[in-house]
């Protein structure tokens, strides 16, 4: 049986400084995100109870509508920045500064376009206002380059404390607003507060760690290179947002806000699970890149990563399917009981989603971003078509089925690309 490091025993591998470094980094990310998710999850359930399906659906519509244009906020450069910060540590200031200004410009552009289109798309004043408020978060996401930097340096421990602080402040503010009965507008404003707090926290963290600023660094030539390398990822992010959020847009348009509120519970519960592969893969991405000179180790690491994510997804899906009814009623209340059947279909989509996270990192590491783009376009087109066909015929269950089928088509579409077939064989025999 091939082993990742067959010349060493398990004890030696566990004591290896590189292994311990990546394991510790992943551990900090996982613990921090787990804490944030648990707190945000229970507070979010309290918010859903307070708002009720109709207002909760309206809030989720505004968020989903805004996220359709989120690709403009970063132009897809995040993963490219992560990769280049690992490969070219000597260009730290130029990469951070250039990335920051690209993302800031993109965030401003996204906010403007979102509100122009919402003005044309809906006459409802409340919906427009909710969209306006949430769109402001994109401007502050430019500071996420600092988080990307610490991930690339395998120093995620530093950002965990900031994220935990933001989560706690956000939760206390939401609970206070509910206690004061301030309503959906003020609760939506908390998203902007979260973005501002996170940006300031990351900024002060970087200043304290490195005693310098990267804002004055902007390399026009580097910006062209980043955008040139990232445009397929930007197009990919468009496709990803479409096949992950368009169902909520269609449900609001084809049914109503109350139906969307019921459906959004399934989406929210499932999206929480997506942080598991995201944390694992983002932390191990530097190790994947460093192993590329040795194809045997590289392919074996990828194979084990895929196997791990598949097993985790199956186990998690089975567990959540079984506890769906008591969990939803206990967390969200009896008014959301109709969400149970939808959730029991929707939850199985985490299996292809977990696997696809690892595949996406692999394709980016191999500079096969166009393949990734084509795969996500297939998923987006399938999701749009399936939603238009299934929602009018099967309601909320139709939306969940459309999600499950389209999500499954994305990783399966790898076999359609000749460039991938040989690589898949190499991975199989790793």
pLDDT digits (tens, 9 = 90+) for 365-378: 777 878 888 888 89
Question: 257 near 336, Cβ under 8 Å?
Answer: no
123 belongs to a structural domain: yes
377 belongs to a structural domain: yes
According to the model, what pLDDT value does residue 112 have? 95
5 belongs to a structural domain: no
Q: Which has the minimum average pLDDT: 117-126, 285-294, 325-334?
A: 285-294
Q: Write down the pTM of the prediction.
A: 0.80
Distance (Å, whole) CA 24 – CA 77: 26
What is the average pLDDT across 211-224?
Answer: 80
249 belongs to a structural domain: yes
Q: Which domain holds residue 145?
A: 10-428
Q: In a 10 Å sphere around its CB, with 0-12 CB exposed, 13-18 middle and 19+ buried, how is residue 393 labelled?
A: exposed
User: Given pLDDT bands bounded at 50, 70 and 90, which one contains residue 277?
Assistant: confident
Helical H runs in 68-90?
A: 71-74, 78-87
Helical H runs in 274-294?
A: 275-290
According to the model, what pLDDT value does residue 425 have? 66
2 belongs to a structural domain: no
* pLDDT of 324 strictly over 90: yes
78 belongs to a structural domain: yes
3 belongs to a structural domain: no
Question: 352 near 407, Cβ under 8 Å?
Answer: yes
Q: How far is CA 378 from CA 32, 74, 211, 389, in A?
A: 34, 22, 46, 17
Residue 259: partners with Cβ closer than 8 Å, 6 or more residues away: 53, 57, 251, 252, 395, 396
Q: How many domains does the chain have?
A: 1
Distance (Å, whole) CA 363 – CA 349: 21
Which residue in 197, 134, 202, 140 sits closest to 171, CA to CA? 197
């Amino acid at each position: 049986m091939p082993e990742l490091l067959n010349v060493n025993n398990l004890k030696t591998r566990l004591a290896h400084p590189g292994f311990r470094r990546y394991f510790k980094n992943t551990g900090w990310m996982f613990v921090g995100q787990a804490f944030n998710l648990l707190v945000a999850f229970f507070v979010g359930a309290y918010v859903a109870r307070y708002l009720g399906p109709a207002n909760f659906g309206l809030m989720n519509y505004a968020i989903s509508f805004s996220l359709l244009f989120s690709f403009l906020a970063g132009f897809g450069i995040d993963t490219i920045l992560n990769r280049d910060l690992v490969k070219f540590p000597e260009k730290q200031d130029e990469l951070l500064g250039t990335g920051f200004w690209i993302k800031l410009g993109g965030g401003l552009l996204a906010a403007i376009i979102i509100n122009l289109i919402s003005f044309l798309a809906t006459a409802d004043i409340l919906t427009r206002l909710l969209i306006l408020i949430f769109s402001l978060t994109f401007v502050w996401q430019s500071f996420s380059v600092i988080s990307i930097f610490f991930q690339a340096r395998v120093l995620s421990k530093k950002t965990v404390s900031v994220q935990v602080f933001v989560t706690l402040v956000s939760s206390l503010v939401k609970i206070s607003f509910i206690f004061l009965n301030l309503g959906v507008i003020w609760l939506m404003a908390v998203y902007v507060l979260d973005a501002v707090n996170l940006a300031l926290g990351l900024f002060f963290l970087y200043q304290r760690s490195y005693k310098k600023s990267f804002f004055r660094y902007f390399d026009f030539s580097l910006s062209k290179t980043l955008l040139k390398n990232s445009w397929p990822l930007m197009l990919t992010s468009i496709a990803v947002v479409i096949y992950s959020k368009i169902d909520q847009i269609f449900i609001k348009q084809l049914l109503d806000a109350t139906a969307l509120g019921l459906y959004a519970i399934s989406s929210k519960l499932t999206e929480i699970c997506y942080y598991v592969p995201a944390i694992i893969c983002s932390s191990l991405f530097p190790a994947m890149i460093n192993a590329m000179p040795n194809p045997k180790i590289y392919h074996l690491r990828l194979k084990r990563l895929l196997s791990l994510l598949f097993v985790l997804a199956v186990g998690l899906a089975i567990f959540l399917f079984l506890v769906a009814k008591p969990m939803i009623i206990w967390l969200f209340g009896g008014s959301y009981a109709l969400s149970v059947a939808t959730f029991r279909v929707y939850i199985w989509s985490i299996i292809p989603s977990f696997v696809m996270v690892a595949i996406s990192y692999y394709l980016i590491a191999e500079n096969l971003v166009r393949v990734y783009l084509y795969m996500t376009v297939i998923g987006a087109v399938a999701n749009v078509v399936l939603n238009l066909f299934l929602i009018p015929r099967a309601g909320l269950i139709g939306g969940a089925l459309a999600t499950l089928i389209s999500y499954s088509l994305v990783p399966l579409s790898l076999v359609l690309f000749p460039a991938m077939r040989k690589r898949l064989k190499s991975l199989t025999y790793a």
